Amino acid sequence: MTDADTRTLEFDLAALRERYRHERDRRIRPDGLRQYLGSRHNFGYWAEDPYTPRQERAAKSDRVEVLIVGGGFGGLLTGARLREAGFDSIRMTEEGGDFGGTWYWNRYPGIHCDIESSVYMPLLEEVGTVPSRRYAPGEEIRRHAVAIAERFRLYDDVLFHTRVTALRWDEDDAEWQVCTDRGDRIRARYVVVSSGTLSQPKLPAIPGVESFRGHTFHTSRWDYGYTGGDQAGGLTGLADKRVAVVGTGATGIQVIPHVGRDAEHLYVFQRTPSTVDVRDNRDLPRNWTSNLPQGWQRERMENFLAVIAGEDTETDLVADGWTSTARLQRKMLSGRTDDTLDPGEREMLDEIADARKMNEIRARVDATLDDPATAELLKPWYRYMCKRPTFSDHYLQTFNRPNVTLVDTADTGGITAMTETAVVVGDSEYEVDCVIFATGFETGVSGVVSGTLPVHGRGGVQLLEAWSAGPRTLHGFMSHGFPNLFHLGSLQNANSVNFVHILQEQATHIAAILERAGSEQARYVEPTAEAEADWLATIRRVQIDNGDFLVECTPGYYNGEGTRRRGGGGFSPGPVRFHEILREWRATSMDDVIVPAPVLVNE
């Protein structure tokens, strides 16, 4: 299809492109990423744990076989796979007061997983958990994380409320020295870092924010003592309160219907509207998994991953808002493989499918809202994957309530100021009792990449110095000069909206390597510099050029607030192909990273 052919479309593609450009330019801020405060700023108390009291304990000074940093799904899955592989000496460290990671911290009213439970909640068959709803409530997912820890004995030697502060390689003993903020000095043969990608609350640097005298908190530290109720709602403490919610991303969309229902008055401060598609959540029969054949979850997870990644699949087992959109784009490509399409033609077909989806989403806003002016403000004007898509059957309806006001802040780049009693946007002041920040998380701050966890490898070399010209890894997991150290995450690895599936593959991979290292009685595990260079070259060679997609998007964390042209430097042909590469590597090349122990000769 050419530009000329687009005149036959049922909408004006040129006008749409112009509108998207205009809305993006209206939203872009010169201060980019500097517009936010980290939670370590004066508002550090917002990052404290409201759920579990911190216990005093004696510092540890001992040795373990494997130390896993992070008790979210990545750490739990690695622990589970290592237990299955026969590892006994496993210690986990976690900054929260229990397992669960994001599901430990995020307990706001309305919290649900926005990916179907059957493919999102890992190890359902192994643990015997049966999700109660198609999209499970957050508390159920948190309890499942706890159940995984119990099933695989990961509570045995865990250190909660503990942050690893440094890792230093000891070449003589071939092990890591691990320091923590609780004074621990632990020696570990292997270290696995799974400290998450979206974990530190992020706050807008609004002038005057510190002068506000009312109540404030971030959604990932919900204050039920103030609001009353629980994750199912019933926020009776807000009945006589004027409440502001700042932010309308995936979290805001879930929180706002509850606050709107229970607050005396709710002001929603929106900067960029989200795409809000149909949710269609429902209860599941009590024992819905009992007649499914063994291995059903793996089959369903693989199918979801493939459909979302745009692979050519005959069936769509999950068949929901995520997969139908991916299939819409696939259909536009008429089943033709990447090679048979001219890249320009492929991009045009993608763009048309995208525009049709977004037209549908905007039409839903018109069909739901009573007030046409509010409907206009709630319509998103950007391409579908510019921001995390959201799903709700209650969010848009909330704006039909008489006690709910939508305050659009796009023209001022967000809230302009706060006073002792009010939120200010331009010339208007909104007097409120409470401000709830649904403003998201810092990206990439956790772990070794940001330098918050300094790592000194062989010869005392710092990891970030070794990576000064860019990260160098084998498949994203290991680095030359840093033996026995493994990373989970999307760096030079795969990515997907169902990130738990990615973590599960990573855990399987790491456990397989450690199992082999054990059986070979390795001195340590380390890739060669050549293997790293080959992987970097592979990533660059297969990089799919998305042109200016990201840079033309409305600002958000996907494109570094409009500053980034490319994604996270992962394997761009997608997770299905990447997992094939890992399987092949395990079958043929795993021994390449095993450095054998020296043979002792009796004199």
Q: Report the interface residues with ligand NDP, using CB under 6 A.
A: 112-115, 198, 204, 206, 246-252, 269, 271-272, 388, 409, 414-415, 438-441, 556-557
Q: Which residue has the tokens 């979801």?
A: 304
Strands 428-431 and 422-425 turn out to be antiparallel
Cα gap 580→578, rounded to integer Å: 5
Q: Which is nearer to ligand NDP, 32 or 310 (CB)?
A: 32
State residue 431 phi and psi, 5-degree precision.
-75, 125
Give the DSSP H or E segment for 141: helix 138-151
Report the nearest approach of ligand NDP to the CB of residue 197 (Å): 9
Q: Which is nearer to ligand NDP, 51 or 467 (CB)?
A: 51
Instruction: Please say whether the beta carbons of 368 and 397 come within 8 A.
Output: yes
State residue 524 phi and psi, 5-degree precision.
-160, 180
For 518-600, where are the E strands, in sequence order?
A: 522-525, 594-596
Instruction: Please say whether the beta carbons of 384 and 358 come within 8 A.
Output: yes
Q: Which residue has the tokens 């400290």?
A: 195
Instruction: Please say whether the beta carbons of 244 and 463 come within 8 A.
Output: no
Report the nearest approach of ligand NDP to the CB of residue 433 (Å): 19
Q: Which is nearer to ligand NDP, 1 or 250 (CB)?
A: 250
CA torsion sign for 273, 38, 445, 90 is: negative
Q: Which is nearer to ligand NDP, 70 or 457 (CB)?
A: 70
Q: Which is nearer to ligand NDP, 195 or 248 (CB)?
A: 248
Q: Which is nearer to ligand NDP, 73 or 557 (CB)?
A: 557
Instruction: Please say whether the beta carbons of 590 and 516 come within 8 A.
Output: yes
Q: Which is nearer to ligand NDP, 73 or 99 (CB)?
A: 73
Report the nearest approach of ligand NDP to the CB of residue 262 (Å): 20
Report the nearest approach of ligand NDP to the CB of residue 496 (Å): 11
Written as six digits, the tokens of 262 are 């229970």
Report the nearest approach of ligand NDP to the CB of residue 106 (Å): 7
Report the nearest approach of ligand NDP to the CB of residue 321 (Å): 12
The CA–CA distances, whole Å, from 167 to 154, 177, 194, 583 equal 22, 6, 14, 30
Strands 242-246 and 434-437 turn out to be parallel
Instruction: Please say whether the beta carbons of 463 and 532 come within 8 A.
Output: no
State residue 300 phi and psi, 5-degree precision.
-70, -40
Report the nearest approach of ligand NDP to the CB of residue 400 (Å): 21
Q: Which is nearer to ligand NDP, 114 or 320 (CB)?
A: 114
Report the nearest approach of ligand NDP to the CB of residue 189 (Å): 34
**Sequential DSSP letters for 286-306:** TTTTTTSPTTHHHHHHHHHHH
Report the nearest approach of ligand NDP to the CB of residue 253 (Å): 7
Report the nearest approach of ligand NDP to the CB of residue 520 (Å): 39
Q: Which is nearer to ligand NDP, 309 or 349 (CB)?
A: 309
Residues in the chain: 603
Strands 422-425 and 417-418 turn out to be antiparallel
Q: Which is nearer to ligand NDP, 398 or 484 (CB)?
A: 398
Q: Which is nearer to ligand NDP, 20 or 87 (CB)?
A: 20
Report the nearest approach of ligand NDP to the CB of residue 535 (Å): 26
Nearest C-alpha neighbor of 196 from the set 44, 47, 69: 69
Give the DSSP H or E segment for 18: helix 13-27
